[in-house]
Amino acid sequence: MDSLKKIKNELKKAIIGQEKMIDALLIGLITEGHILIEGIPGVAKTTAVKTLGKILNLDFKRIQFTPDLIPSDILGGEIYIIEKDEFRVKKGPIFTNLLLADEINRAPAKVQSALLEAMQERQVTIGEHTFYLDRPFLVMATLNPIEEEGVYHLPEAQLDRFIMKVIVDYPSDEEEYEILKLVVQREGFGNEEGKKPEEPQQVATKEDILELRERLKSIHIDREVEQYIVNLTMATRNPEKYGINKEYIRLGLSPRATINLYKVSKAVALLNEKDYVTPSDVLMYVKEVFRHRFLISFKGEAEGITTDHIIDMIVEKVPMP
């Protein structure tokens, strides 16, 4: 069985539903992109990353972002050793393979920005020392959408570092029942006798992830599909060309959006066990790639227009090859 399918099957032993979140984590791993997840507490965000670490035998660390956090709490710093009369670098929790930045919008901009170098350059500078992070390195940051007090808006430069923003909703009725059964059986609260649910097991290694990244390069994408990706991005900068009210968009997408949609489209094809990209692969995660990268104007906000509404308009108006 393909290693991606094995990983996904093991994740489903711990997570019921949430296909978008599971696929997003896998896409982030094989494209070297970071994932931003917005969802209420208790929808398996932490469980997903922790389980992924177990399945791949990767280091996992979690940072709970709070208003009193400082950059050294994430990166580490230099400490003075009295006995040796010297400074020594103590590495912070960012030195891991999988980092869960929980409720990232609870920390001020100075702390959020501490992640920028690590996310983009895969390195951390502490004093005069620069350390390269081990590969693979994935940041999954979560946003709590229900809090309004004590939260800080993420800067656009920070948001642009995430390859996708996934919105996690409530599970369905059937999924909720399956979650209940899974948890009560696993924790021994069930009335029924029988064996406990199967626990996720390690089925791959970091070497398998690096091999998948190499396979990603061989996924074919036609010139017409590449141009389609470019046209989708350009429609946020020149919306009037496609019959979209330009007064709704304050700031269009940067070239990083085009590059990331290209990478994600290839990863979707790989997840679906194909060696080529189709326009439907491009559209499958276009909202997740685009929604956090451009700004709606005050006029658009006043009329209840969201980034997802604009993306729907763009997908409808831009001709598909």
The reply to whether 146 and 61 lie within a common domain is yes
What CATH number does residue 259 fall under?
A: 1.10.8.80
The reply to whether 158 and 303 lie within a common domain is no
Are 296 and 250 in contact by the 8 Å Cβ rule? The answer is yes
The reply to whether 144 and 60 lie within a common domain is yes
The reply to whether 176 and 312 lie within a common domain is no
Our measurement of the distance from residue 67's CA atom to the centroid of its chain's CA atoms, rounded to an integer in Å, reads 23
pLDDT number for residue 135: 86
The reply to whether 225 and 140 lie within a common domain is no
Rg (CA), the chain: 21
pLDDT number for residue 148: 60
Judge whether 205 lies within some domain.
Answer: no
Last residue of a domain, one of 167, 186, 205: 186
Judge whether 201 lies within some domain.
Answer: no
Residue 254, Cβ density class (10 Å: 0-12 exposed, 13-18 middle, ≥19 buried): middle
The reply to whether 160 and 231 lie within a common domain is no
Q: Helix, strand, or coil here: 206?
A: helix
pLDDT number for residue 229: 96
Looking at the chain, how many residues does it have? 321
pLDDT number for residue 1: 44
Q: What is the number of domains present in the chain?
A: 2
The reply to whether 102 and 238 lie within a common domain is no
Last residue of a domain, one of 135, 170, 186: 186
Please, what is the end-to-end C-alpha distance for the chain in angstroms?
33
Give the mean pLDDT per block of 10 residues along the chain (321 residues).
Answer: 81 84 90 88 80 89 89 86 80 91 85 83 86 90 71 77 89 84 74 68 87 91 95 92 86 91 95 92 94 86 87 93 85
The reply to whether 40 and 106 lie within a common domain is yes
Residue 168 token pair: 């996690």
Are 237 and 244 in contact by the 8 Å Cβ rule? The answer is no
What CATH number does residue 151 fall under?
A: 3.40.50.300
Last residue of a domain, one of 165, 186, 207: 186
Judge whether 70 lies within some domain.
Answer: yes
Judge whether 91 lies within some domain.
Answer: yes
The reply to whether 146 and 82 lie within a common domain is yes
The reply to whether 114 and 229 lie within a common domain is no
Our measurement of the distance from residue 51's CA atom to the centroid of its chain's CA atoms, rounded to an integer in Å, reads 15
| Residue 89 domain boundaries | 3-186
The reply to whether 238 and 142 lie within a common domain is no
